[in-house]
Each structure stands twice: as structure tokens, then as C-alpha cells.
Structure 1
Amino acid sequence: MTQTTYQSVTIEVADRIATVTLNRPEVLNAVGAVMHAELRHVFRDLAEREDCDVVVLTGAGRAFCAGGDLAWLQSMIDEPDRFLAILEEAKGIVFSMLELPKPMICRMNGDAIGLGATLALCCDMVVASETARFGDTHVRAGLVAGDGAAVILPYVVGYMRAKEMLLTGALVSAQEGREMGLINHVVPAAELDAKVALLAGRLVGGATRAIRYTKIALNKKLRAYAQEQMDMLMAYEALSSRSADHAEAIDAIRSGRKPVFSGR
């Protein structure tokens, strides 16, 4: 399916570089129902566009993506069947990013949290502002880390580091992320655009077919693993979305207090 207009995502193309911006700065680009649905389609659309060879993914304002929108998460607690409706969307986001033949750079202008961490991991290169943080905080919200990070993170940082990050929901600084191979480059905020432009320029000026086919080959095993694992991961996340601990976590976050988990 091709979708040409978006409400919460913007696309700008210049010099064969498409810049995709998550555009909800008032909530730190947290993903709600509309953005989640749009993210399922935007990378398929970009794959088909003939006016761009490189994609840059970034966020508007001071964050890259703060994860799931709290009001949206609360709506799925109130109406549990709404969570089941987004399972195919969640898989579609990850699959479409890993299958995009064009190289994609994450311009991590701020924190990449929860689903934001998954979006960054699905890119081919990450350039981060030195103040940015990264982390999949699903478990801190009483949820299984099912939307992709559990598939990709072990490939990037190794299983022991990945398990610590995913089981604790800990955040790492951009510098820590660079040291563990999670982030390619860390620069001051004032230098972020120049660094991203330098990398994008190298890619757009390179041999397009060679670059695309190399990316496809590099992602082949990861794509197969994602296809194998995502049904199970999303099923577990759906189960955890109905838990008392998830409801408690969201209520605590919205109330500005520390959650008290019961294990239920």
C-alpha cells in the first residue's frame, strides 16, 4: 500500500536525500495511533520513490522519539483489543525498515527511548548529539520488549549487554552507545547537521546499486531473524499489555510517581 500524505511525519527531499521527521515535538515525538499507522507505510513509500537514494530519519524539536504516547497506551489499557489491532503495524514498521534498500541514517537529535530505540536500531548508521540517550524501557512500563529491539540489539552490542539493557530498561548516554558499537558518531548538537550531511553526501555520491545491494545482503540474516521472532515477541507484549503491572506503570508515569509492581 502506498500512502502519500502524512499527519505526524514529514518528508522533505533535496539533492536525492529524503529527510523523514517525526513531527510531534510537543510530546517529544512520542508515537501515538496516527504516527504508528503512518510509520508502517512511510518506508515502503520511500522504497518506491524515484527522487531519492538516501534516507535520513530524525525528530522535530529536542527529542528523537520518546517511545509510546502515554495517552495512547492508556487507551489500550482501557480497551485491550485495541492493542491487538496494532500487532501487524508493529511488525510492518520493523520489516519495512529492514527491507528498505536505500541506506538510512538516524539523525539522533535527542533521546531515543522505547519504540524510538527500535527506530534508531533499524537504521544503517546512527549519528547522535552528545546529550542524547538511548534505551528500550519497555520493562519499566510493564511491557515485553516486543517491537524490534529484542531482535536487533543483541546483533549490535552482544547478548550479555543486550540482556542487561532490555531486562533493566536502563538508558545509556550517546558516548556509552558509541563505545559499545550502538552509535557510529557522537557530536555536539551544533555539528549534528554537518556530520549527517557529510555521511549522506558520501552515500548519495556513491555507486547506488552497489550500496543498495550491499545493504540488502548485510540485512538478509537480520531480516530472516526478525520474521522468525516478531510474532512471538509481539504476542508476549500483547499478553503483558493486559497485566496489572503495565497498568500500574502507566498510571505512575502519568502521575509523576514511582510505580509499585506486584508481579501480576
Structure 2
Amino acid sequence: MSREFHIEAQDYSRFTFSRDGRILTAWITSDHPVNGVDEPMHEELARVFTDLQRDTGSDIIILAAKGRAFCAGGDFDWFQEQVDHPERFRDIAWDAKRIVSSLLDMEKPILCRLHGAAAGLGATIALLCDIIVADETAKIGDPHVKVGLVAGDGGTLIWPQLIGFARAKELLMTGDMLTGAEAKDLGLVNHALPADQVDAKLGEIIGKLTANPKWAVRWTKTVTNIPLRALMAQVMDAAIGWESVSNTLEDRREAVAAMAGKRAPKFTGE
């Protein structure tokens, strides 16, 4: 007999959880106005998907967020700490890999309910889910370059697989944001709908999934993710390594200072 395990909210400070039968929703919930990633959230992201997989009371996961944004990328106070103390950036490399690997290793279907902004790591997490249902006015993009960083935490892995290399490289190198509707047109997300229709669409998809045999669904997903897991093993060490190097550069320091000062950056190429 398998051992019972239930994910518990008291083990997390940046997530809350709700259940509807065998459907478990993990809500990104923080005091940050746009659910920016700080050190505690980064650590919790590195273990929450493993705990969701282990949870014996659920078969399907919805990843959603409280507040006005899904997850708008890195918190700027944390960025400044990383600039001032590069060893802290180095120390999160293992967790950065685990966020991506644990999402791709999940057998349970995971659906993303996307609203507000999903930027940087927030966008990566959304796009690594199996089915993404977005508010058509949501904003999604990977603006790592705008804060002086290589898009090393999974963006360079998943974006080209979804929309092709040419479009992915343009968006990753410019840091441009897309609306949910634009993302749907590119094939980046599955569905983009008015906000008041998102939950109904999620319910429709869940109904289709639960009407099929559970293990057939899980293992079909598992097999489909094999190439992504192999690609992750090929690229993530280099991606995180180059991102760590970019965190030490003068233009990174200037990008963070300019955002803190609400002014235009003055990049030198260093």
C-alpha cells in the first residue's frame, strides 16, 4: 500500500492550496504586489512541484495566482542583493535547475491559469505547464535581458520548442512582452479568453482529462516530456552558468540601479 502524503499550506509561505475533489489548485500567494520572485519563493518553487506530484489526494494540478499578476519575475530588492553579493546568485543554481526539472518530471497533468503578468521565471513556469489557459489581456514575456541577465532559468529551453527558434530568439533578445491573445496566436499558450471565461475553459479541459483513464493520461504526458527532459540536461547547466556570469557585469549593475531609480539605463557594454 502506498504511503499517504498531502501537501500542506503550513509548509509554504508563498503558496496556498485548495481542493475540489481530486483537483488541487496551487495558488502563488505572496505579499509582493505582482508576486515577484524573492529568495523564499525561489526555494519553495524548487520543491512545490515534487510535493504536488507526491500528494496522494490529487490527480490534476492547477497552477494559479492570487493578486493582480501571475508572477512578474524577480523581485528588485533581491536583484540588488545578488548584484552586491554574487555568491548568493551562485548558491541558487541548484534550486534553479530543480524548478525546471521537477516541473518536467511531474506525471500528473498541470494546468496553468494565467492572468496579469508572467515575466521571466514566471513565464518559464507557466510555459512548462502542460496546458495554459490565459486571460487574453495577460502579459507574458522573458525580459531577463532588460535587467542585464541571460535568460538562463528555462526560457531558452522552452520558448524555441513552442514557437520556433526565430521568433523565440527575437522575443528573448528584445525582452518584449506579449498579450495573452498574441501568445495564443503564436502558439505559446493553448487558450486566450476574456477573464470571465477562463475558469469555465479550465473546467471543460479538466472534464475531458478526468473522462479518460488516469494512468493513460499521466504516462502519455510523461513520454511526451522525454525530449524536453533530455534537452534540459543538455542546456540548463550552461544557461544558468552564463546567467551567473552576466550577474557580475557592470551593465547588470546599471540595469538594476536604473530600475531602482526609475530612470533610463546607461549601458557601456561592460
The verdict on a shared fold, with TM-score over 0.5 as the criterion, is yes
In structure 2, how many angstroms separate the alpha carbons of the residues matched to 1:45 and 1:143?
Answer: 30
2:167 partner amino acid: R
Maintained 8 Å contact 1:17/1:204: no
| Structure 2: runs of 5+ lacking an equivalent | 1-5
Change (3 A) 1:185 1:25: farther
The percentage of counterpart residues that share the same residue type is 43
Tell me which residue corresponds to 1:171.
177
Q: Deviations for 1:22-66, whole angstroms, at most 9, x for unmatched residues?
A: 112542011100010001111001111111111111111111110
Tell me which residue corresponds to 2:56.
50
2:116 aligned counterpart, secondary structure: coil
| Structure 1: runs of 5+ lacking an equivalent | none
Tell me which residue corresponds to 2:99.
93
Change (3 A) 1:3 1:106: closer
In structure 2, how many angstroms separate the alpha carbons of the residues matched to 1:80 and 1:157?
Answer: 33
In structure 2, how many angstroms separate the alpha carbons of the residues matched to 1:234 and 1:3?
Answer: 29
Q: Which moved more, 1:185-194 or 1:38-47?
A: 185-194
Q: Deviations for 1:82-109, whole angstroms, at most 9, x for unmatched residues?
A: 0011000000000000110011111002
In structure 2, how many angstroms separate the alpha carbons of the residues matched to 1:48 and 1:262?
Answer: 48
In structure 2, how many angstroms separate the alpha carbons of the residues matched to 1:3 and 1:46?
Answer: 7
Tell me which residue corresponds to 2:196.
190
Maintained 8 Å contact 2:7/2:52: no
In structure 2, how many angstroms separate the alpha carbons of the residues matched to 1:97 and 1:77?
Answer: 28
Maintained 8 Å contact 1:3/1:41: no
In structure 1, how many angstroms separate the alpha carbons of the residues matched to 2:210 and 2:12?
Answer: 25
RMSD: 1.3
In structure 2, how many angstroms separate the alpha carbons of the residues matched to 1:32 and 1:52?
Answer: 28
Tell me which residue corresponds to 1:33.
39
Q: Does 1:8 align with 2:19?
A: no
Tell me which residue corresponds to 1:180.
186
Runs of 4+ in structure 1 over 4 Å off:
none
Instruction: State the aligned residue count.
Output: 263
1:201 shift after superposition: 2.8
In structure 1, how many angstroms separate the alpha carbons of the residues matched to 2:33 and 2:93?
Answer: 23
Change (3 A) 1:234 1:3: farther
